[in-house]
Amino acid sequence: MKKFSLVIITVLFTVFGAVAQIYNPVKWSVASKKLNSKEAVVFVKATIQDGWHIYGLNVPEGGPISTSFQFTPSKDFALNGKVAAPSPQSKYEKDFKMNVPFYAKEVTFQQKVKLNKNQTTVKGVVEFMACDKSQCLPPEEYAFNVTIK
C-alpha cells in the first residue's frame, strides 16, 4: 500500500507540474512591413486571454517586471529608435504600492529598423510577466524571428 501511495503522489505531481509548465495566457505573433528600400517596421503582437495582463515597457523601479525586448545584433540592419507601443492602461497595485502600466486583451509593439541589405531576418526575444487578479506567472521569454523582403 505504501508503494501504491508513493506512485499515486508521483503521478499527481508530474501531471500538475506539466499543466503548470504549459499554461500560457499570452500568445505572440510577429510580422514586418517594408516602408521603403532602406527602412522597415517589425510588429510583435501579444494576444492576452481575458482576465490577464502583461506589464508595460516602463514600469517604475520597485514594481513588477516590465515587458522588454532584446534584438540579436546583425550587420544587415540597425535598430532605429526604441520599441514603440500604444499608451498602456494604469492601475494601483497594493502589492507594489504604486500605479503600474499594463496591457490587457492585445497590444502590438513596433520596432523600426534601418536596412543595410535588401533582405534580412530580424531576431529577438521579448521578456514579459503575465498576471491575473490572483496570481502572476514567472517571467517568460518568447524568441521570435521575422524575414524582411
Asked whether the beta carbons of 139 and 129 are under 8 A apart, the reply is: yes
Residue 95, pLDDT score: 85
Q: How many CB atoms lie within 10 A of CB 57?
A: 17
pLDDT at 27 over 80: yes
**DSSP secondary-structure letter at 57?**
S
Residue 14 or 77, more confident: 77
**Domains of the chain, start order:** 26-148 (2.60.40.1250)
| pLDDT tier, 9 (very low <50, low <70, confident <90, very high otherwise) | very low
Predicted model pTM: 0.83
The rounded distance, in Å, linking the Cα atoms of 15 and 107 is 32
Mean pLDDT of 24-42: 97
Rounded to an integer, the average pLDDT of 43-67 is 97
CA distances from 92 to 1, 31, 96 (A): 52, 33, 8
C-alpha angle 121-124-125 in degrees, rounded to nearest 5: 155
- In the chain the beta strands, taken as DSSP E runs, fall at 26-36, 39-48, 53-55, 68-71, 77-84, 89-93, 98-104, 106-115, 120-128, 130-131, 140-148
